[in-house]
Amino acid sequence: MVSMVRLIAVVCVLFFSLPVAGQVFEFEDPVPLPFNVNSDAQEVMPLLSHDGKKLYFARALYELNVGGRYAGHDIWESERTSSGWTRASNSDLRFNTKANEAVIGVGRDGNTIYLMRTMPDRKVNGVYVARKNRGVWSEPELIPIEGLESQQSLGFYMHPDGDVLLISMRASDSHGQEDLYISLKSTYGTWSKATNLGTAINTSGFEISPFLSNDKRSLYFSSNGHEGHGDADIFVSYRLYDSWETWTVPRNLGEKINSPKFDAYFALYGDSLAFFTSTRKERFADIYSTRVSQAALQRDVVPLAEEEIDSLIGSNVARKVEFNERSTSLTANQRELLWYIATKLISQKDVRIMLVPCSEDDAEITNNRLNSIIAQLAGAGIEGSRIRRPQDASSQYARLNHNPDRGEVHLVLIR
């Protein structure tokens, strides 16, 4: 018999519990940005540049906007320096008109910017792109998106990769006041027709201010249709099965972020720094910043004792997942193992699952393997909000008992 040595891809699966069940993150107390950014007018839609040095936002009901106080909202920007935020300006980009303009996306290269421009009864409403060459911005070009309907208002978010556009609007197939939609850019450069994200996300109320995480797995948005703390709350939902049509039940971000008043336009950077808009203290909306609580993150990674692990999933249950070389699909035995583990944990609401690759394989292959595991766990009843992907993991666990020659996969339970 000829034996064949196969390279085994490594994916560590870690189980852990959080001290606060039902929240995705714990946040520090939000603080309003200084008067250099916030004013006595309304500030919304904060977005940070890729290098973290510039904050774009929209300001409305302000006498220094192009066209005056009662014209549309303008794009404003502020630079972050060692001493804080500079006084915001609306003149540098030269994109502002009497219409409504806002930055709805910033490219990774720092030289591409995506704009929203809307005005009642104008056919040019929609998304525009401008590019910087030798320090000078080009004239914005309209991006044709089929299916845009502006029965009332429009809102957008463009991912930094420039290939995923999220839309909030009220259209003929909407479930409520405003729904969230998606349009994807093809390899040929064309954009798909705007598609409703479905009833897991959209309600009979409004869903607005979408923001997509850097890895394109987490969707943040504001809604008054899901159960919350007040007027409009900020929620997060996770994409399942590598599909844009299947989402977890939205989870409220909690009382630190959400108030009894209007909270929206949440944007998270590096899984640590976040900005959002709220009317919690003022008549008009201001921009707030907050950070993910480091103390809460540190509490997440206390290893469970061996006897605790045995009591949860059993002492004889395999604690690793292996893939043959280049394979991204689960075998029947692996599916059965993950299904069994999921059924043991489904009632343990304080237990969550962290997936950590323990080998340096091709990024696309690793991502597809993780998606296979997530899909199986979700199909067995584990909510997507209870599953974490690699960027949430501590590197010490990725190195735990790591032997790339043997390619073992370890299942570690942590608290």
The strand pair at 164-169 and 179-184 is best described as antiparallel
Q: What is the DSSP letter of 317?
A: S
Is this prediction's pTM over 0.85?
no
The angle formed by the CA atoms of residues 32, 38 and 43, to the nearest 5 degrees, is 100
Contacts of 352 (CB under 8 A, 6+ apart): 15, 16, 17, 18, 386, 387, 388
For each of the domains in the chain, give its residue range(s) and CATH number, in order of start.
9-18+301-414 (3.30.1330), 31-298 (2.115.10.20)
Q: Are 158 and 183 within 8 A, CB to CB?
A: no
**Can you say whether residue 391 is alpha, beta or left, with left for phi > 0 and alpha for psi between -120 and 50 degrees?**
alpha
Q: Which of 192, 162, 194, 164 is nearest to 178 (CA)?
A: 194
Q: What whole-number distance in Å separates Cα of residue 54 and Cα of residue 318?
A: 49
pLDDT tens per residue, the chain (415 residues)? 333 333 344 455 555 543 333 335 789 999 999 999 999 999 999 999 988 999 999 999 999 999 899 988 999 999 999 999 999 999 877 899 988 999 999 999 989 999 999 876 566 789 999 999 998 999 999 999 999 876 567 899 999 999 999 999 999 899 988 999 999 999 999 999 999 999 999 999 999 999 999 889 889 999 998 988 888 999 998 887 778 988 888 889 999 999 999 999 999 998 789 999 999 998 999 999 999 876 655 554 445 566 777 888 888 887 778 878 778 888 888 888 888 888 888 887 777 777 777 665 667 777 778 788 888 888 888 777 677 765 544 444 444 444 444 434 445 555 5
R_g (Cα) of the chain, nearest Å:
23
Residue 24: how many CA atoms within 13 Å on its side-chain side? 25
Distances (CA, A) of 109 to 131, 160, 161, 285: 10, 9, 9, 30
Q: Are 75 and 103 within 8 A, CB to CB?
A: yes
